[in-house]
Amino acid sequence: MAKEKIDTTTEEKLKEAARRVFTQKGYAATKVRDIAAEANINLALVNYYFRSKEKLFELIMTETIQKLFEKIRPIIYDETTTIAAKMESIVDHYLELLIENPDFPLFIVNELMSGSKRLPIMTDNGKMFFKSHFVKQLTALHTEGKIKFHPVNVMMNMIGLIIFPFLARPLILRSGALGEAEFRAIVEERKKLIPLWLTQIINL
């Protein structure tokens, strides 16, 4: 029993260290030895628990996605809130996630483009999103003629406005156009700007 507790603690310690290092250095620049050093744990133990950097990163991202959708689900299924209120909450939660995990979008894009089936959680939660009350509200506006375009365009715009800055982040930082602190400050501004832009598009 004691051994199981120690193993669980070690695994969690490694995952927390990995999150910090991936966030600070990015996926490509991170080495397994960096994670071991951050956790103050023998390098062999990292390989014992997770086998590779790729496996560790995949596990962290899967857990991150699950936590995100656990927060998003009650928001998008709430039948008492407006579209605008839902958008504000969705944007805030997504941007908070990406500030903590800036390599997350690149990881997901690479997984999707490669045809990987290692993240069925993305498909499952994607279906959940499109069955939500939020989508029903947008569809109702379209049916009533209050928005002339397909409701999915709203979803695409929201996702694009949230994710694209993080896809462009490596180039922005390498170019010297912004430092890390400035980039984060701009992302904080976008928490207010993105819902404003979206509500203007659909005339709410």
Which regions of the chain does DSSP assign to beta strands (E)? none
CATH assignment, 57-201: 1.10.357
Selection from 73, 70, 76, 17 nearest residue 43 by Cα: 17
C-alpha torsion sign, points 191, 197, 201, 204? positive
Token pair recorded at residue 168? 């462009």
Rounded distance between C-alpha atoms, residue 163 and residue 106, angstroms: 9
Rounded distance between C-alpha atoms, residue 127 and residue 125, angstroms: 5
pLDDT band at 5 (very low <50, low <70, confident <90, very high): very low
In the chain, what are the domain boundaries?
Answer: 1-51, 57-201
By the 8 A CB rule, do 45 and 13 touch? no
The predicted model gives 16-35 an average pLDDT of 84
CATH 1.10.10.60 for the 1-51 domain, yes or no: yes
Q: Which of 44-58, 115-129, 176-190 has the highest mean pLDDT?
A: 176-190
